[in-house]
Amino acid sequence: MRKVFIILGLIAALLAVILSVLPLSNLAFIPAILALLFGIIALYLFNKSGASKKIIYYIFLLTIISLVFATYKSIFSEPEVVNMEELQEKENESKQEAIDELEELNIDAEDLEDINLEE
Amino acid sequence: MCRITIALVFFFSFFVHAQNNAVGTNEKLVFTASYNMSGILNNLAEVRMETSEVKTSQTTLLRLKCTASTFSKWDHFFKIRDLYESYVSPTTLKPYLYKRDINEGSYFKAMKYTYNHKTNTIKTLQQKKKKDGTIWDENKTISVQSQTKDIVSTLYGIRTLDYSNMTIGKSTEMIIVFDREEVKAHITYLGKENISTVLGNTSCYKLSISTNKVDVLKGTNSNVIWLTADENKIPVFATFKIAVGNGELKLKSATGLRH
């Protein structure tokens, strides 16, 4: 039973570390909490048997690392959009093309009587 | 991701036919789109809605532009750079030209609608990228109903409706042309509600949206949009549920408002 909780704890802790460094860092909290639970249960079982607890401390260490990463990213990392030059260029090209096409259209003048929207 | 983008746009869109007293000529709304993954919301993309005047030799039109761009942290996984435009009458938001340019990873698709309101037809041009990288053009003229609009012009058009005298539960049918097909959508007024937004604690009109196209929006009252209960009627918050999950759209900033 102890080994089962240690294996589960290790898997959950490793998953938490991997998720914490990916863009999905918010999801790292789920396996991190599970790893903590498994680690605490394993620690309780080890206390009863008196065996070495080194491996359990590794679970806690990995969990803390993942929680620190995920918390830091969720608080301090502001999502931003980069590499917009291509889209902006496309927007400008599209606008110019649209103007050329609109020139060819017979637009109903009634709809466009009041073109000034600013009050 | 394409489904998410389509759903987001559909989510906002329904038919209206009213004078424009809400949308200004230099408006800029920025939203953060979040997607629910295992119960946790992740910021996925930035959605921008901008307006500007476009002058031709004969007249001046209003350009309604919507863009969706994934945040940089997602660009390595799936990069999205989508552009939607509609060129409309500034007074009625009646559309004359619609353009859509989808770039999602290796997927590319472009669509152009040129409206003929006299014959109630739309001349369409669809462009798709083949596997060998060449672009495939397809021209088609479709007949539509007189009130049919594209998704961008209806997206802005919802703000021209008068909700102040609307009774709770009132439903309106709208017709949107998307992917060269007319889609019926229903908008139901759910009443007024105060919600916390970037503009502060704001009084909003709460609206539920559904369509007859079952693969776009799911659930009843799961797709809800909140418009500020003032003269601008800007969208400040939205929740959506689609085939591949659910998420929300939250206003990040609003500048150049008309009122």
Interface test with A, best of B21, B42, B70 (most A CBs within 10 A): B42
Q: Which residue of B has its CA nearest to A21?
A: B73
- pLDDT exceeds 70 at position A98: yes
Residue B243 lies in a domain: yes
Residue A114 lies in a domain: no
Q: From the centroid of its chain, how far is CA A26?
A: 5
User: CA–CA separation, B111 vs B131, rounded Å?
Assistant: 19
Q: Of chain B residues 110-129, which have a CB less than 8 A from chain A?
A: 114, 117
pLDDT at position A14 is 95
Q: Which residue of A has its CA nearest to B92?
A: A111
Q: What are the angstrom distances between the C-alpha of B54 and each of A99, A102, B209?
A: 7, 10, 31
Residue A86 lies in a domain: no
Looking up residue B169, the CATH number of its domain turns out to be: 2.40.360
- Report pLDDT digits (tens) over A29-77: 999 999 999 999 998 888 877 777 888 999 999 999 999 999 998 888 8
Reference B45, options B73, B68, B63; nearest CA is: B68
- Report pLDDT digits (tens) over A72-93: 988 888 888 888 888 999 999 9
Nearest Cβ partner for B96 among A27, A95, A107: A107
Structure confidence at residue A118 as a pLDDT band (50, 70, 90): very low
Chain A touched by B248 (CB under 8 Å): no
User: CA–CA separation, A7 vs A14, rounded Å?
Assistant: 11
Distance from CA of A6 to the nearest CA of B (A): 24
| Chain A residues touching residue B110 (CB < 8 angstroms) | none
Residue A83 lies in a domain: no
* Residue ranges making up the domain that contains A43: 2-76
Chain B touched by A84 (CB under 8 Å): yes
Residue B225 lies in a domain: yes
Residue A90 lies in a domain: no
Residue A48 lies in a domain: yes
- pLDDT exceeds 80 at position A111: no
User: CA–CA separation, B191 vs B204, rounded Å?
Assistant: 8
Reference B46, options B78, B80, B85, B76; nearest CA is: B80
Domain count, chain B: 1
Q: From the centroid of its chain, how far is CA B229?
A: 19
What ipTM did this prediction achieve?
0.83
| Chain B residues touching residue A72 (CB < 8 angstroms) | none
Residue B259 lies in a domain: no
Along the 259 residues of chain B, how does pLDDT read in single tens digits? 555 555 555 555 544 456 888 899 999 999 999 988 878 888 899 999 999 999 888 889 999 999 999 999 888 888 999 999 999 999 889 999 999 999 988 889 999 999 998 899 999 999 998 888 888 999 999 999 988 999 999 889 889 888 988 999 998 888 899 889 999 888 889 999 999 999 999 999 999 988 877 566 666 667 899 999 999 999 999 998 877 778 899 999 999 999 8
Residue A107 lies in a domain: no
Domain count, chain A: 1
